[in-house]
Amino acid sequence: MNFKAIEPLEKKIRILDQRQLPLKIIYHDYDDYRDIIDSIKTLEVRGAPAIGIAGAFALAIASMAEVKTDVERLKKILIDIADEIKSARPTAVNLSWAVNRALNRAQKFDGDDIKELSQHIWDEAKSILKEDEEMCAAIGRHGAQLIQDNDTILTHCNAGALATGGIGTALAVMYMAKAQGKKFKVYSDETRPLLQGARLTCWELMQEGIDVTLICDNMAGFLMQQGKISCVILGADRIAKNGDFANKIGTYGVAVLAKAHGIPFYVAAPTSTFDENTSSGKDIPIEERSPEEVTNWGGAPTAPNGVKVYSPAFDITPVELVTAFITDKGIIPGKRK
């Protein structure tokens, strides 16, 4: 992989600007946590695990700026800053999971040196990044068993290296299967409105020499009807206790189509995406994005001025439509009959 979505540097992080892909490969360095919040909100960095990692580093960076205070006061300030970071995007549980982990590390610190406290938070963020890398590789290893020679896999949105600290979740399965010498093809849904499938998944898979074909979202059903899809593998932003999960808008439709055509439907996700505190899909908060993301592209309008827009960024797929979850701990069956 010759790119990294996020990379820690000295007291700052480097983020690959995914808003500009595939046209431009531009990195920005951030040493102010407010800029990292903006980066998360505007989808410069995106994908559930990646925004968690960015959020944890944002907290560490925020603590470094607060030099004119004492440890106890800083711990209090960090609670508010953590809330600010967590509210940047509500659906992916990885963001609050990672920020809480970094915050807990700070709250447990019992020294009186501010620099040391910051170092602890920074180290926690680095552990989150490293563990994510390992979880991605493990997901890839487990999932690759499901891929046969000549399979054609459909994916939606981007659950690749761009969305994580490692080689991705859904795409990790493909990278690992390729490394094992398996021959397969991928169809990537373009993923309206922000085209993560077209701009990011196709770019990433092409970089890695995987045979990928781009389709519009509304073509998936026809391909399934034509017998062109062997299985669906995609990512998740939050998996509730009962197995219902949130993922990029359009996932639910793909799951219904997969069931109608008897095609296995797999969800690849790390432990950090499983949320024990959310009992079912209806409790998952769904982010709504701005109308302009639907009515404009590249600065030009694609709809009449003033049209009403509804733009949920994610949808909920019930566990009854899931064949299995591919996790870092192994393959867990879903409830699809």
Annotated active-site positions, please? 237
Q: Shortest distance, CB of residue 274 to ligand MRU, whole angstroms?
A: 13
Q: Whose CB is nearest to ligand MRU?
A: 235
Given the rule CB under 6 A, which of 75-83, 110-118, 163-171, 293-301 is the region that contacts ligand MRU? 163-171
Q: In what order do the strands lie in the sheet with 238-240?
A: 274-275, 238-240, 245-248, 314-317
Nearest of 81, 44, 39 to residue 60 by alpha carbon = 81
Candidate residues 237, 244, 275, 328; the one interacting with ligand MRU per rule CB under 6 A: 237
CB closer to ligand MRU, 61 vs 313: 313
How is residue 208 written in tokens? 């890695």
Q: Shortest distance, CB of residue 59 to ligand MRU, whole angstroms?
A: 19
- The three-state secondary structure class of 289 is coil
Q: Residues 103-142 vs ligand MRU: string with x where CB under 6 A? A: ----------------------------------------
Candidate residues 102, 146, 157, 240; the one interacting with ligand MRU per rule CB under 6 A: 157
Residue 163 lies near ligand MRU (rule: CB under 6 A): yes
Nearest of 277, 263, 273, 276 to residue 94 by alpha carbon = 273
Cα separation of 170 and 154, whole Å? 10
Cα separation of 141 and 258, whole Å? 24
Determine how many CB atoms are found less than 10 A away from the CB of residue 334. 21
Candidate residues 39, 63, 118, 247; the one interacting with ligand MRU per rule CB under 6 A: 247
Given the rule CB under 6 A, which of 45-53, 75-83, 274-282, 322-330 is the region that contacts ligand MRU? 45-53
Residue 6 lies near ligand MRU (rule: CB under 6 A): no
Cα separation of 239 and 96, whole Å? 14
